[in-house]
């Protein structure tokens, strides 16, 4: 594939003053993983935010990407997550150290609680969240995590964490696409100065055949994927699309900041919200 011009990604300022790239690349088991494509994204396309988790199982492969990409560690923003099987103070600390070793780094830019529920038999979700978060707070204080956050947390989970702990999460990462627009959660995060991050911006491909999205793609001379990613970013969400194909990496990242959607078109996309989830639904987790 012909080389592409690297670009500088805009950032979002977190409550602790760090600047987090507003667009990155996600990795997940769904749809597969291509190490060569992630390397291409980082080395050739200028992508600096890479999102992964222990659950996805790609830590060792990503270590090879970071080793081979030629990008200084200080220029990368590496996100990893604590899996609920490892919740608890001591186990969280051990899991963090193992993930860092697997990824081949001495620190993470952000470490997150992956899910509001514990997977430990007989464990209380709220207590396990608090114990795990206390471990993350200490890792943050020690400089081993430059920031700490949560994933898939609803308002009541965030409220409890605020009551039980000292550091308010810097980021909340949730499923976010035109069919899943959690306005109350977004408003809460903004009020509490928690950066809002969205994954699955294409609803795992479900948005690509939507008539409204396709009409806008025609209007702007863009692809349906570009319309959805632009919509997500323009709504103020840090966005992490994933792909296993190099051409999709170029499509998803190279022109997103070269156009804007008109307000009326943003509203028309917002109206597509029907509450569907294409991933896990944490609503009923206590």
Other C-beta atoms closer than 10 Å to the C-beta of 97 total: 12
Tell me how far apart the alpha carbons of residues 182 and 177 are, in angstroms, rounded to a whole number.
Answer: 10
Give every CB contact of residue 142 below 8 A, 6+ residues apart in sequence: none
* 54 CB-near residues (< 8 Å, 6+ apart): 80, 81, 82, 83, 86, 95, 99, 102, 114
Cα separation, 245 vs 37, whole angstroms: 6
Q: Where is 19: in which H helix or E strand?
A: strand 19-21
Residue 29 burial class via C-beta count within 10 angstroms: exposed 0-12, middle 13-18, buried 19 and up: exposed
Read out DSSP for 34-72? Answer: -HHHHHHHHHTT---EEE--GGGT-HHHHHHHHHHS---
Cβ atoms within 10 Å of 228's Cβ, excluding its own: 27
Binding site annotation covers 177? no
Binding site for substrate: residue ranges? 114
Question: Which residue ranges are tagged as binding site?
Answer: 114
């Amino acid at each position: 594939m012909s080389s592409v011009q690297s670009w500088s990604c805009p950032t979002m300022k977190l409550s602790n003053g760090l600047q987090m790239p507003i667009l990155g690349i996600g990795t997940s088991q769904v749809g597969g993983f291509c190490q060569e494509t992630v390397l291409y994204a980082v080395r050739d396309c200028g992508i600096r935010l890479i999102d992964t988790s222990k659950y996805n199982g790609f830590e060792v492969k990503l270590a090879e990407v970071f080793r081979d990409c030629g990008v200084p560690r200080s220029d990368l923003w590496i996100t990893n997550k604590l899996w609920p099987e490892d919740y608890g103070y001591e186990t969280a600390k051990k899991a963090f150290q193992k993930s860092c070793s697997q990824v081949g780094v001495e620190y993470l830019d952000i470490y997150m609680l992956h899910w509001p529920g514990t997977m430990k038999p007989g464990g209380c979700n709220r207590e396990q969240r608090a114990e795990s978060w206390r471990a993350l707070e200490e890792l943050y204080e020690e400089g081993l995590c430059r920031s700490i956050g949560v994933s898939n947390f609803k308002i009541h989970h965030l409220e409890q964490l605020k009551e039980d702990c000292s550091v308010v999460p810097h980021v909340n990462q949730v499923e976010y696409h035109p069919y899943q627009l959690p306005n109350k959660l977004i408003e809460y995060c903004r009020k509490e100065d928690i950066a809002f991050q969205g994954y699955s911006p294409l609803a795992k491909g479900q948005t690509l055949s939507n008539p409204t999205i396709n009409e806008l793609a025609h209007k702007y001379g863009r692809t349906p994927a570009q319309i959805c990613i632009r919509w997500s970013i323009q709504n103020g969400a840090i966005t992490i699309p994933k792909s296993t194909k190099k051409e999709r990496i170029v499509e998803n990242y190279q022109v997103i900041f070269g156009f804007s959607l008109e307000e009326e078109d943003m509203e028309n996309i917002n109206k597509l919200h029907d509450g569907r989830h294409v991933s896990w639904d944490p609503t009923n987790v206590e």
